[in-house]
Amino acid sequence: MNKAELISATAEKTGLSKKDTEKTVNAILETITETLKAGEKVQVVGFGVFDVKYRQARIGHNPRTKEQIKIPATRAPQFKPGKALKEAVAK
């Protein structure tokens, strides 16, 4: 399912117009993104937790030349599904 399909399915379930649903979905995604950029987590009970994982700097190797390269520290988004979501998918 892509974003357009998500918007269509959500509009159908809620009875809202696709335009209003698109605004809502975009606002939710922007809010999650901004919160993660600020270093905070977003917890949706029953669904899961969006969080930021910190990866330390490390030494890697170029597979072609075997040369060592320094990989800088980074922050990456992470999602941990909640119990209810895990159970719903498992059925």
DSSP 7-67: HHHHHHHH---HHHHHHHHHHHHHHHHHHHHTT--EEETTTEEEEEEEE--EEEE-TTT--
- Stretches in the chain below the pLDDT threshold 50: none
Burial (0-12, 13-18, 19+ Cβ within 10 Å), 10: middle
- Just give the CATH number of 41-91: 4.10.520.10
Say what the pLDDT of residue 91 is.
83
Say what the pLDDT of residue 9 is.
96
**pTM, rounded to two decimals:** 0.80
Say what the pLDDT of residue 22 is.
96
